């Protein structure tokens, strides 16, 4: 299905979204998202899911030239018969600081998929001097679809790295952040489609 056609279907069904599927309690793994330090927020219309992180960050130091932090989230999903759920894109709010271009860099890698299916991996690298907050938009193709009806598991895997060539070089920082302008770290947009 073309994305434009999918969006039309999604809009037609979105008012019924909450009644059509339900998200269960998530399970977390990885140093970047210990239990209790990630908040999942779903609005009443059910069309998106926001994830707020408190500890998904990586920063080099005078004793560490390479630092990696990862977060893996598994969210049970229950759907009514005759309905399948899709994620048609994701957004990620990344704060990154790379002071120099002397071999320093930062990287953000993520994928989302329903259990039993495959997903493309999105990777963004920063290897030039920068200090900025950016929104990475992940338009995975094909769109991630659940199976038709029943239960599934939505998996979100993410990792960030900060590195520098010399211990004496300025430190590199990267984190998934929330602030006054962005109240979320990750956000996923849902759609629904009838199926048999």
Domain limits, the chain: 3-194
Query: What residues contact residue 196 under an 8 Å CB cut-off, 6+ apart?
Result: 82, 148
Q: Which candidate, 196, 125, 20, places its Cα nearest to that of 10?
A: 20
* Tokens linked to 119: 């997903």
* pLDDT attached to residue 96: 97
Report the 10 Å Cβ neighbour count for 79. Answer: 20
Strands, E assignment, 80-163:
83-98, 105-114, 122-126, 130-138, 144-145, 150-163
pLDDT digits (tens, 9 = 90+) for 9-47: 333 444 445 568 889 999 999 988 887 778 888 888 778
* pLDDT attached to residue 102: 85
Q: What is the pTM of this model?
A: 0.84
φ/ψ bin of 183: left (φ > 0), alpha (ψ from -120 to 50), beta (otherwise): alpha
Q: Split the chain (196 residues) into runs of 10 and give each run's mean pLDDT.
A: 37 51 91 84 86 91 97 93 89 94 93 84 93 87 83 94 96 86 84 86
- 57 vs 177: CA distance, rounded Å: 8
Determine the length of the chain. 196
Percent of the chain exceeding pLDDT 90 equals 51
């Amino acid at each position: 299905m073309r994305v434009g056609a999918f969006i039309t279907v999604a809009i037609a069904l979105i008012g019924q979204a909450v009644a059509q599927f339900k998200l269960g309690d998530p399970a977390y793994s990885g140093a970047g998202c210990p239990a209790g330090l990630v908040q999942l927020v779903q609005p009443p219309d059910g069309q998106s899911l926001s994830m707020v992180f408190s500890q998904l960050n990586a920063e080099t130091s005078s004793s560490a030239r390479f630092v990696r932090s990862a977060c893996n989230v598994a969210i049970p999903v229950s759907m009514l018969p005759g309905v399948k759920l899709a994620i048609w894109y994701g957004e990620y709010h990344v704060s990154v600081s790379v002071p120099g271009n002397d071999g320093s860099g930062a990287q953000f890698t993520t994928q989302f998929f329903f259990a039993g299916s495959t997903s493309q991996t999105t990777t963004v690298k920063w290897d030039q001097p920068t200090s900025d907050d950016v929104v990475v938009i992940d338009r995975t193709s094909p769109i991630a679809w659940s199976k038709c009806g029943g239960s599934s598991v939505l998996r979100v895997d993410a990792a960030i790295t900060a590195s520098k060539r010399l211990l004496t070089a300025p430190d590199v920082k990267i984190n998934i952040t929330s602030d006054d302008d962005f109240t979320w770290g990750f956000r996923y947009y849902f759609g629904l489609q009838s199926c048999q």
